[in-house]
């Protein structure tokens, strides 16, 4: 009998639509898989078995149809789900059940997608390893002693461990693409504004973007199409149709496409094995008919420091809402303490050290006398990075680089060195500052661990990512995850 957890999302949807298998059977198979392995992977913070089976039954009854009807999905715990715990990986929201669905959640439900539960993440999406979750780290299915990336390590690990064929992540500085790179999955950050942020618990409002995680490029495209499109409840939502991403994924043709290799995102600072797999993937694009040239984006070297002023500044504003009054944790309210003391006690206990570090940094950058010197200068650098992208896209249709400087590192290896942790996002941050779409697609293995190739495209040309990704996927098929620990 076919193992239903090994099917792609497209295969699963076709099997459900043809009634070869029921959506309830598919959902149960994945719930059983989670029960069997998630004690070791820890991809999920909450499994909603009752809700998943009820949604699957609606698909079987013909109430819900669509290209992904009946396909299970793991949802990052930063998107609101009505009546289902939503914590953003933080103690300050432990047990909170939102009274409404995020737009992404609502669109998934309307499409007949079966949400299995909520996945682990770095607290408030602040981290590169999922070790900053208040609920413990997630483990990389390729090696349980290594990180699965961050902040969306739970979503990527769930897909890599066959707990779900699809997942939703969010990407503020690489939090979809970086986990996908180190877990051998496909991860996409859509164009900023291409997917609604309504109901997404905000970290950095000018950078946050939800997007798909999958095991194939076509599956990612199908999910992208399901969640994308204009939303009047999000003032930053683009009033334009979703680019033809599914058509592009099925086209898988790069003949005549101009591919630019970003000089500043290769070479020094990248592990030899990562660089070698990247070079091989670029050569494959040449053999597939693309024209490859080197391009320079000189201000990309300033992206990391600019990001770590802009994002914490916006976070210090967004996280001010966690005040022990409106919702969430409330500590020390004994009737004798004043509001300010209760607020201080709640935040001290509810926020973890990385979140506190970024709030302090952001508040300082926004403070009187320092705003222009720090936040204002960072925004000017952001403009220069945008100009770099504009100039590069005059020479090339897409840009490519390694997704990460190295493969997945051991758990705990960088926790005591925040700067070393931040450098994991060197290659991914520029696209967030620009607002354009970017994808990580598997590019092979280095020392037995996955390597990702990043593709970046102009704003609202998300379809170009899928053309390149699908062509590479067809030319260089990626080996399935070797889960030796299952039988160890």
The secondary structure of residue 458, as a DSSP letter, is: -
Give pLDDT, residue 479: 73
Per-residue b or e along 171-190, where b marks 16 or more CB atoms closer than 10 Å to that residue's CB: bbbbbbbbbbbbbbbbbbbb
Give pLDDT, residue 339: 85
Tell me the pLDDT tens digit for each residue of 311-368. 999 999 999 999 888 888 999 888 889 888 888 898 999 999 999 999 999 999 999 8
Tell me the pLDDT tens digit for each residue of 381-425. 999 999 999 999 999 999 999 999 999 999 999 999 998 999 999
> Edge to edge, what strands does the sheet with 186-189 contain?
44-47, 114-119, 72-76, 166-170, 210-214, 186-189, 438-446, 449-456, 398-402, 258-262, 291-295
Residue listed under structure tokens 């930063």 = 78
Clarify whether 175 is annotated catalytic.
Answer: yes
| 4-296+391-486 carries CATH number 2.40.50.180 | no
Residue spans per domain, the chain: 4-296+391-486
Give pLDDT, residue 324: 87
The mean per-residue pLDDT over the stretch 6-33 comes to 98
Tell me the pLDDT tens digit for each residue of 137-146. 999 999 999 9
Give pLDDT, residue 485: 76
Q: Which of 128, 129, 133, 151 is catalytic?
A: 151
The mean per-residue pLDDT over the stretch 288-303 comes to 98
Sign of CA dihedral 148, 149, 155, 160: negative
- Prediction pTM value: 0.97
Give pLDDT, residue 187: 98
Tell how far CA 68 is from the center of its chain.
20
- The Cα 488–Cα 181 span in angstroms is 25
Tell me the pLDDT tens digit for each residue of 170-203. 999 999 999 999 999 999 999 999 999 999 999 9
- The Cα 184–Cα 90 span in angstroms is 27
Sorting pLDDT into bands at 50, 70 and 90, what band is 124?
very high
- The Cα 81–Cα 97 span in angstroms is 7
Give pLDDT, residue 482: 61
- The Cα 412–Cα 417 span in angstroms is 10
| DSSP string computed for 259-276 | EEEEGGGSSTTS-HHHHH
Q: By C-alpha distance, which of 423, 405, 149 is closest to 270?
A: 405
In the chain, what are the helix, strand and coil shares in percent, each to the nearest 5? 45, 15, 40
The mean per-residue pLDDT over the stretch 252-261 comes to 97
Clarify whether 76 is annotated catalytic.
Answer: yes
- The Cα 315–Cα 471 span in angstroms is 38
Residue listed under structure tokens 């060197």 = 426
Mean per-residue pLDDT over the chain, rounded: 96
- The Cα 465–Cα 441 span in angstroms is 10
Q: By C-alpha distance, which of 427, 411, 392 is closest to 307?
A: 427
Label residue 368 exposed, middle or buried (CB < 10 Å: 0-12, 13-18, 19+): exposed
Give pLDDT, residue 24: 98
- The Cα 460–Cα 450 span in angstroms is 28
Q: Which of 129, 175, 237, 431 is catalytic?
A: 175
Q: Is residue 240 scored above 90 in pLDDT? A: yes
Q: Is residue 472 scored above 70 in pLDDT? A: yes
**Strand 398-402 to strand 449-456: parallel, antiparallel, or no bridges (unpaired)?**
antiparallel
Tell me the pLDDT tens digit for each residue of 45-55. 999 999 999 99
What percent of the chain has a predicted confidence (pLDDT) above 90?
A: 90
Give pLDDT, residue 483: 74
The mean per-residue pLDDT over the stretch 296-317 comes to 96
Sign of CA dihedral 472, 408, 195, 61: positive
Q: By C-alpha distance, which of 178, 191, 172, 153 is closest to 318?
A: 172
Q: How many helices (H) and strands (E) does the chain have?
A: 16, 11
Give pLDDT, residue 246: 98
Clarify whether 180 is annotated catalytic.
Answer: no
H-helix or E-strand containing 303?
A: helix 303-318
Q: In sequence order, which residues have a C-beta less than 8 Å from that of residue 225 and are 6 or more positions away?
A: 67, 242, 245, 246
């Amino acid at each position: 009998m076919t193992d239903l957890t090994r099917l792609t999302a497209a295969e699963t949807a076709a099997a459900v639509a043809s009634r070869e298998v029921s959506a309830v059977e598919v959902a149960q198979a994945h719930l059983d898989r989670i029960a069997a392995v998630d004690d070791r992977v820890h991809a999920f913070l909450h499994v909603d078995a009752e809700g998943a089976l009820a949604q699957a039954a609606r698909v079987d009854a013909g109430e819900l149809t669509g290209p992904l009807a009946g396909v299970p999905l793991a949802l990052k715990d930063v998107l609101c789900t009505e009546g289902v715990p939503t914590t953003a990986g933080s103690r300050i929201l432990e047990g909170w059940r939102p009274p409404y669905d995020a737009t992404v959640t609502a669109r998934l439900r309307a499409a007949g997608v079966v949400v299995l539960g909520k996945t682990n993440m770095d607290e408030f999406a602040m981290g590169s390893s999922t070790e900053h979750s208040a609920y413990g780290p997630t483990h990389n299915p390729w090696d349980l002693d290594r990180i699965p990336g961050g902040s969306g390590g739970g979503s990527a690990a769930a897909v890599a461990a066959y707990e779900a064929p699809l997942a939703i992540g969010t990407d503020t500085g690489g939090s979809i693409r970086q986990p996908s790179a180190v877990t051998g999955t496909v991860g996409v950050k859509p164009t900023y504004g291409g997917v609604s942020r309504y109901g997404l618990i905000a970290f950095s409002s000018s950078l946050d973007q939800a997007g798909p995680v999958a095991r194939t490029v076509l599956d990612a495209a199908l999910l992208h199409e399901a969640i994308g499109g204009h939303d009047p409840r999000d003032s930053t939502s683009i009033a334009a149709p979703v680019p033809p991403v599914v058509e592009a994924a099925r086209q898988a043709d790069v003949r005549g496409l101009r591919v630019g290799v970003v000089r500043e995102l290769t070479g020094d600072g990248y592990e030899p094995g990562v660089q070698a797999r990247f070079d091989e993937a670029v050569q494959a694009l040449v053999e597939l008919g693309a024209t490859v040239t080197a391009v320079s984006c000189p201000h990309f070297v300033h992206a990391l420091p600019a990001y770590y002023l802009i994002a914490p500044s916006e976070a210090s504003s967004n996280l001010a809402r966690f005040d022990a009054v409106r919702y969430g944790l409330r500590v020390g309210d004994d009737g004798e303490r004043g509001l300010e003391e209760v607020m201080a006690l709640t935040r001290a206990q509810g926020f973890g050290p990385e979140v506190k570090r970024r709030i302090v940094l952001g508040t300082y950058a926004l403070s009187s006398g320092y705003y222009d010197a720090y936040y204002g200068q960072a925004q000017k650098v952001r403009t220069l990075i945008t100009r770099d992208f504009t100039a590069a896209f005059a020479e090339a249709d897409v840009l490519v680089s390694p997704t990460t400087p190295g493969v997945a590192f051991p758990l705990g290896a960088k926790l005591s060195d925040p700067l070393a942790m931040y450098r994991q996002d060197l290659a991914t941050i520029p696209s967030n500052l620009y607002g354009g779409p970017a994808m990580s697609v598997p590019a092979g293995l280095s020392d037995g661990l996955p390597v990702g190739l990043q593709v970046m495209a102009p704003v609202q040309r998300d379809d170009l990512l899928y053309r390149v990704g699908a062509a590479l996927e067809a030319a260089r098929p990626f080996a399935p995850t070797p889960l030796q620990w299952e039988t160890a």
